[in-house]
Amino acid sequence: MISLAPYLAVLLLVLSAAGCVVIQSDGDGSHDWREEERDNRSAISGLQIGMTRDDVQQRLGSPRDSESYRRGDSTMLVWFYRTHRSQADGETTRDEMTPLVFRDGILIGWGEPVYLSSR
């Protein structure tokens, strides 16, 4: 008769190992968002009016959020990048991001006043 004990032991070991997760942290769990904000602020400070979307995306990567709309004959695109923290709630909201405004694929400015005036 074949003993099932070794097979059950291996199955139990495999199942228990499948639930293991390793999480790396710098202690307070805040390193990632602080680094992202610092990097984004630094990259935004080096932007220039007239840059293309591709140029901006090479410097900043993909935006956290975006929107697009028509204004007259132009296509407006707004990319939002996290740059500061307003509330320690674990959520990133638009009031914690800097908008970058493009008209027909060309950067026309950044910041809340530019965004509001482009609407």
CA–CA gap between residue 116 and residue 113 (Å, rounded): 5
Average of per-residue pLDDT across 109-118 = 93
E-strand stretches of 3-119: 65-71, 74-82, 97-103, 106-110
- Residue ranges of domains in the chain: 48-119
For domain 48-119, say whether CATH 3.30.1450 is its number: yes
pLDDT in tens, 45-80: 999 999 999 999 999 999 999 999 999 999 999 999
Distance from the Cα of residue 17 to its chain's centroid: 32
Instruction: Strand 97-103: give its sheet, edge to edge.
Output: 65-71, 74-82, 97-103, 106-110
Q: How many CB atoms lie within 10 A of CB 61?
A: 13
| pTM higher than the cut 0.75 | no
Band of the pLDDT at 34, cuts 50, 70, 90? Answer: confident
